[in-house]
Structure 1
Amino acid sequence: LIENIDPTDYSKISDALDAGGNTLDYHRYGDVFFDILVTGGLIAPGGIIQDDEELGKVPFSLFVLGRGDNQQTGARHWGDLIHKLTRRYKYLESKFAESSVHVLRHIHRYSEEENRILATGVAVLVSDGFLTMEPLKALQEDHLTKDGLALRFLTEMLRVYLADNSINQLHKALVRAKVGDLIGFFPPNKRDEDCFARHFEAEDMPELIELHAKTVTIVKRAELVDKVASIIRDAREEESDDDEQDERDEHMKATNISVVREAKLAMRANKWEEPQTVVLVWDGIMNSVNWSFKAEHIEAQALKQIHRHSEVLEVLTTEPKSEIALLKHVQLYAHGEPRLTKYFGRIVLELYNTDVLSDSAIIFWYTKGAKPEGKSGFLKQTEALVKKLEALEDDDESEEE
């Protein structure tokens, strides 16, 4: 197909590959074709590359184009060939994406140079949006992580990717592909924060250490929210309609104690303060509700949930800044939950009546602390309450005088 074409004439090679689609039956052999485009030969069972006995490696393959000092230039030419080919044969996009997993699964069979070239090629395709990060999950297999091979490959790939993309773009790409924590690419005996930091410090990639710290925090926050919701759901399932009121009260008290215990443990383990913790507990409490499909029941459900677990919120709002943090978060929560938006004022009143929020916290929020999201509507809902609280404060001051 390309026998008489100069191996550096990428335009003619691209045209030849384009024209050869029907002859070579890309639709049927697309996966094999991608193996050849990457390695220059066929990947036999076990990952051994079988090159052509007479001609050797295909000259326009990644492993050939990426040789020498111009590794990234060669990978870019290769990436352009892939793009042009898949624009003509759209079905090859999915076939190549699937085949990339097969190629990555055998990096232990390639040379050190070939793995550097492959990492560069993958970075180019991901950077261009042709591939997602999802195929990288293939590197998390035990036989690739145990000796650090997967980590070396990942490090090189990320170095090339970050040369043209921001750390935020990387984070979004990892999240979209559900790759998870990068620590999963480390050898099993080195999957801890210290090893992670030391590795990327040595590689002069501090931005990855910062990203990892943020990712861990997000995971820990989500874990507490899920744990709180799980405790409350499990407790609710244990309740019986035959239980006496005293039994229900004791059961609820025990549930709240369990939630507080989990919150305090998370605070100590993650060095969180009250304001950071109480908003997560709020989310867990609200996430545990089985919301009714009937709009007229929503208000009662929300107020009942707050009343049942107000003791938890009260324990976690012992400081003014914790109260303000909770109230601002409730504002954002109500703004983001359309079914609760019109009940924000009633929710604030319930938090006040159950001693979670003080009058001073509510007045501060109303006068200068409210967030922009839904502000005008929420201020209107709480206007009557704030006027009442301000009047009570004036009465108290008059009595003191």
Structure 2
Amino acid sequence: MSSAANAKPVLQGVKIRPRKGVQKATAKFEPTVFRDAFISVISSATPGNLDDLSTKLDAAGNNLEYRRYAETLFELLITGRLLAPGGTFLEDGTPASPFSIFQAQDDLASIRKYVDVFHKLMRRYKYLQRGFEDTLTNLLQYINKFSPEDTNKLAMATGLFCASGLASLTVLTVLFKEHLVKEGLSLQFVTTVFKIYLIDQSVDQFGLNLYKVGMSDRLLDFFPPNKRDEDSFARHFEAEDMKQLVVYQNKKQLVLRKESIIENVKTFLEEGKTAECMTFLKAQSKESGLSEPEFIPLIWTGIMASVDWGTRMDQIDGQIVKQVQQYSKLLGAFCTSPKTEIALLQHIQVNFYEDARFIKQFRAVTQRLYNNDVLSESAILYWAEKGVKPQGKTVFMKQMEPFIHWLKNASDEEDSEEEE
């Protein structure tokens, strides 16, 4: 049979249409064409009727390529114009959109109504979330290009976006850019954002969201370099009637200060520099503003962190007592009142409860601290009667029973001798 007979038939003159998805992927990217079509949709809504506008935007998503032109879409909804490279507006003779954040009145009530349009749109088209955050981040880096009035509107809207979860606080990281910080624009912008945010959310929720995006330690970075200190922070936000933010910052700084003390104690002891550690702690006890009962747990935590404990229980049992013996003088220097002694004993109790490797050594450690004059008889007896923590209470009280009994008998004998 000839090869010609085996040849497959071929359609002649038939045009094969590509799939719709392929057509879209290869179509020319034309943001100005999208803009014109989008503004036409907005212009068809009843002026001032934001509900009608939301309905039009919802329906337009069936015809306009919202996914592909997400950046263009949100530039128009926020600024009313398209941005050219460098943050200036594209000047091609096209009028601004009749609806945008920049077109709203410069007050919170009006901005809130406009932000509601964004909520309705993104509830319908959830895939726009990422494009929205990317566009908002891009716009914030150009706040020096916008008028003060438009910048304030954008700041209020950003506060509402973030408080409602429409955008995360990570959009503000672009404001760490040096030129924006140096000119004071970043601080002015985030002050408005935070003020609006705290109207709708608690400062605790605000702090949690800052932590989630890695910004909880960076609030001072919004301040110009010559004002980047705690006093400037407090003065600025108290003047803006945001004392709750000052309280939050003070608490956060206290946590950081405590973590720093622990880390320094750990490093000094790892390097065998006990004398230098003592000098450091004496300075910190004065500068930190912490009371002695607040300070002593940090020293204990640093001591424990400086040792590689391993997992063998027979080694740990001897090692923990050895460490207490070695650093009793360090602990004793900052344990000069009954209240501090009780605070130390309570902290050790909770520490050993949370790390079961040490739980059996609680009595041995307490006895060693007693023998080395770090803990007094009265502090230990008070702890047993009134100061023991709930964590592992039964276990620790049973373990301490012989020692407590011995202390009470010793105390009774001393009283008898004094009477004689």
TM over 0.5: yes
Paired with 1:10 and 1:32, the residues of 2 have a C-alpha distance of 20
Which amino acid letter does the alignment assign opposite residue 221 of structure 2? G
User: Which has the larger displacement, 179-188 or 20-29?
Assistant: 20-29
Match of 2:171 among 117, 135, 140: 135
Structure 1 residue 352 and structure 2 residue 376: aligned?
A: no
CA contact (8 A) 1:147 1:187 kept: yes
Give the equivalent residue in structure 2 for 1:256: 274
Give the equivalent residue in structure 2 for 1:63: 102
Give the equivalent residue in structure 2 for 1:210: 247
Structure 1 residue 230 and structure 2 residue 267: aligned?
A: yes
Q: Give me the TM-score of the superposition, normalised by structure 1.
A: 0.85
After superposition, the Cα gap between the structure-2 partners of 1:51 and 1:159, relative to the gap in structure 1 and judged at 3 Å, is farther
CA RMSD of superposed structures (Å): 2.5
Give the equivalent residue in structure 2 for 1:43: 83
Cα deviation for residue 112 of structure 1 reads 0.7
* Alignment coverage as a number of residue pairs: 378
User: Which has the larger displacement, 218-227 or 72-81?
Assistant: 72-81
Paired with 2:319 and 2:307, the residues of 1 have a C-alpha distance of 8
Q: Deviations over 1:186-206 (max 9, x none)?
A: 111112233223323332333
Percent identity over the alignment is: 37
Match of 1:188 among 208, 225, 232: 225
Cα deviation for residue 300 of structure 1 reads 4.2
Which has the greater radius of gyration?
Answer: 2
Paired with 1:50 and 1:42, the residues of 2 have a C-alpha distance of 6
After superposition, the Cα gap between the structure-2 partners of 1:341 and 1:39, relative to the gap in structure 1 and judged at 3 Å, is farther
Q: Deviations over 1:268-326 (max 9, x none)?
A: 22233322221111111222233424566544443343333222112111222211111
Q: Give the secondary structure class of the aligned counterpart of 2:144.
A: helix
Give the equivalent residue in structure 2 for 1:287: 305
After superposition, the Cα gap between the structure-2 partners of 1:354 and 1:142, relative to the gap in structure 1 and judged at 3 Å, is same
After superposition, the Cα gap between the structure-2 partners of 1:108 and 1:322, relative to the gap in structure 1 and judged at 3 Å, is same
Q: Give me the TM-score of the superposition, normalised by structure 2.
A: 0.81
After superposition, the Cα gap between the structure-2 partners of 1:14 and 1:314, relative to the gap in structure 1 and judged at 3 Å, is same
Paired with 1:75 and 1:343, the residues of 2 have a C-alpha distance of 62
Give the equivalent residue in structure 1 for 2:144: 108
Paired with 1:298 and 1:73, the residues of 2 have a C-alpha distance of 64
Q: Give the secondary structure class of the aligned counterpart of 1:106.
A: coil
- Superposition pairs of residues 1-400 of structure 1, within 5 angstroms: 1=38, 2=41, 3-21=43-61, 23-50=63-90, 53-56=93-96, 58-64=97-103, 66-68=104-106, 71-179=107-215, 180-233=217-270, 235=271, 252=272, 255-294=273-312, 297-400=315-418
CA contact (8 A) 1:37 1:62 kept: yes
Stretches of structure 1 that go unaligned for 5 or more consecutive residues are: 236-251
Cα deviation for residue 261 of structure 1 reads 1.4
CA contact (8 A) 2:105 2:111 kept: no
After superposition, the Cα gap between the structure-2 partners of 1:362 and 1:191, relative to the gap in structure 1 and judged at 3 Å, is same
Which amino acid letter does the alignment assign opposite residue 33 of structure 1? L
CA contact (8 A) 1:30 1:92 kept: yes
